[in-house]
Amino acid sequence: MKTDFKKIIIVGNSGSGKSYLAQKIASVFNLPVIHLDKLFWESESCSEKRPKDIVHQELEEITEQPKWILEGVFGDLANIGISKVDILIFLNLDWSECKKGLMLRGPQNATEENFKELIDWAGLYWDRKTVSSYDGHKKIFNQFNGTKLEFTSRNQVEKWLLRLV
């Protein structure tokens, strides 16, 4: 398997460990991490969306750069850079693991109400039929013809990370 990655996309449910994995990979390959949440939301409270055209324009500019990691739940945003990636990673962890990840992370800068909404929204990941759902991420993963990995446990992620260093 190729291991000189310069352009990486990581998708998965909220709490699946996308940010954690991105930071670990970034430290190995010296890559900048772009959190799709920070592009999508106006503030860290995750209550107001940024204008879609501005987000898409910024993401187009980012994906023209020679190296990056995009991580997030937003499948439509991941699709903007999909044709340029060296590897696509799908964190397909079950709800108990994702919920545990969210609870350990806590609300961060979100209000308690917004955090509860996030938990509820993330719990519906397998029921929604959007590009930011299980079905959407699986479709992106299945249609991608390049190097790709699907992890179904944190243990698999950790074993793979150990092989990178």
User: Which tens digit of pLDDT belongs to each residue from 59-117?
Assistant: 989 999 999 999 988 888 899 899 999 999 999 999 999 999 999 988 887 788 889 99
Asked if 109 and 57 touch (Cβ cutoff 8 Å), the reply is: no
End-to-end CA distance of the chain: 14
What is the structure's pLDDT at 101?
Answer: 95
pLDDT of 1 above 60: no
Choose which CATH entry (3.20.10.10, 3.30.365.10, 3.40.50.300, 3.40.50.1100) describes domain 7-164.
3.40.50.300
Higher pLDDT, 49 or 118: 118
pLDDT of 164 above 90: no
In this structure, which amino acid lies at residue 124?
A: L
pTM: 0.92
Going from the C-alpha of 21 to that of each of 14, 88, 141, 154, the distances in angstroms are 13, 12, 17, 10
Helices (H) then strands (E): counts for the chain: 8, 5
Domain ranges of the chain: 7-164
What is the structure's pLDDT at 137?
Answer: 97
Pairwise CA distance, residues 36 & 34, whole Å: 6
Strand arrangement of the beta sheet that strand 68-72 belongs to: 33-35, 68-72, 7-12, 87-91, 148-151
What pLDDT, in 10s, does the model give residues 22-60?
999 999 999 999 888 878 767 665 667 778 888 889 898
